[in-house]
Amino acid sequence: MTASAPSPRRDGSTAPGARMLADLLTNHLDPGYAAASRRRDREGPPPPLERRTLRTAAVLAALVIGVVLAIAYEQAVARAPEAARTRAALARDVDQRSERTDRLQRSAETLREQVAQDRADALAGDSSGAAAVTTLRELEAVTGLGRVAGPGVLVRLADGPPPKDPVTGEPTSEADLGRIQDRDLQDVVNALWASGAEAISINGQRLAATSAIRSAGGAVLVDFRPVGSPYSLRAIGNPDLLPKRFDGSAAARRFRGYEQQYGMSFSAERDDRLELPAAPAPELAYARPVAPERTAAPTPSARGGGSSTRTPTTPVPSATGGRP
């Protein structure tokens, strides 16, 4: 098919759009390329020395780039085993310290229960002591420092599947929206408290008044101890009201939506035999026990006939084992 020339107007001129179309059909070479071709034809090719210089510079640049890339690759390959060993050593150190922390925690719980039993045996001699033991146990249960058992609700949460490429099926670097975050656990815990829960634990970690749920990197921490999916939240409360109230809470509705949208796992069911451990004892930074004042026996005065008393000053021990 050949392009025909644009038809002139009635006044003898040609429309601008038609002229542009004619230029595109007839002038195939860009004006800049045409000017460069004319300059090369006019001035002739570059001299042989200049051509050799350009070729030599290009070869040297390619050699330098190749050497730099080879050195970088060699260093990366050489450091790979060392980095792998460092990561493995750090992982072993984390595992050992976690096991030691768990062992010390179990030992502390055993010693605390032994102290509580010895205290109860010492105070059980009279009615006032027995009443004091009952009051202490009630306060420990309320503050989270004592083990509790009773009916309530068991909430289970689990991460959804990680994002994958729809074509290859391989994991992608997209944000994992199906992973449970610390704020998700905070929402569920607050909803349980608001629904009437009296005691809550997450994966065996009892929550107290000073408990914190935070994230560190990709891990979720409960009182600075890591917990992972699947999550089991046990809440003790009125078995007739707590499950119903939590099921109608905004957090439960939101997680049912997450279950449909991101593939998370969510369930809440009544459980009549829940057992929750005691929370770790808080570390006191400023509070110190007050030692009772002791009055010394009267001593005879130097002048005779009289007596004087004085109260010795004794250092007050610190509750944290620090300086008096």
* Residue 246 and residue 195 in contact, taking contact as beta carbons nearer than 8 Å: yes
Contact 144/207 with Cβ under 8 angstroms?
yes
Task: Extract long-range pairs of 299-305: CB within 8 Å, 24+ residues apart.
Answer: none
Confidence of residue 294 (pLDDT cuts 50, 70, 90): low
Cβ(108)–Cβ(280) below 8 Å: yes
Q: Is residue 308 part of a domain?
A: no
pLDDT tens per residue, range 202-215 = 999 999 888 899 98
156 and 249 together in one domain: yes
Q: Given a cut of 50, is residue 318 above it in pLDDT?
A: no
203 assigned to some structural domain:
yes
Span 48-66, mean pLDDT? Answer: 83
Among 239, 257, 276, which residue terminates a domain?
276
- State whether 157 and 75 are in the same domain: no
CATH code of residue 190: 3.30.70.1880
Q: Give dist(CA 258, CA 111) in Å, integer.
A: 43
Strands 231-236 and 148-158: antiparallel
Handedness of CA 98, 100, 106, 108 (dihedral sign): negative
Q: Give me the pLDDT at residue 19, please.
A: 67
Domain boundary among 276, 297, 314: 276
Alpha-carbon span 4 to 192, nearest angstrom: 82
Q: Quick check: helix, strand or coil at residue 231?
A: strand
Indicate whether 274 pLDDT > 80: yes
Co-location of 68 and 158 in the same domain: no
pLDDT at 323: 31
DSSP secondary structure letters along 192-215: HHHTT-SEEEETTEE--TT--EEE
Contact assessment for residue 185 and residue 202, using Cβ atoms and an 8 Å cutoff: yes
Query: Both 154 and 271 in a single domain?
Result: yes
Are residues 155 and 259 both part of a single domain?
yes
What average pLDDT score do residues 146-172 get? 86
In a domain, 246, yes or no: yes
For residue 185 the two structure tokens come to 């656990």
Instruction: Decide if pLDDT at 271 tops 80.
Output: yes
Same-domain status, 182 and 262: yes
State whether the Cα torsion 55-61-64-70 is positive or negative.
negative
Domain count, the chain: 2
The DSSP symbol for 6 reads: P
Residue bearing the bigger pLDDT, 26 or 312:
26
Quote the percentage of the chain above a pLDDT of 70.
Answer: 78
Using an 8 Å Cβ cutoff, are 299 and 308 in contact? yes
Do the domain assignments include residue 188? yes
- Tokens 């909803």 belong to residue: 191
Phi, psi of 235 (to 5 degrees): -130, 125
What's the mean pLDDT when you consider all of the chain?
Answer: 79
Q: Determine, yes or no, domain membership for 299.
A: no
Does residue 15 sit within a domain?
Answer: no
Residue 195 included in any domain: yes
Considering the domain boundaries, does residue 206 fall inside one?
yes
Domain that holds residue 226: 150-163+175-276
pLDDT of residue 319: 36
Instruction: Tell me what pLDDT residue 168 has.
Output: 76
Are 159 and 258 within one domain? yes
| Residue that terminates a domain, selected from 45, 64, 93 | 93
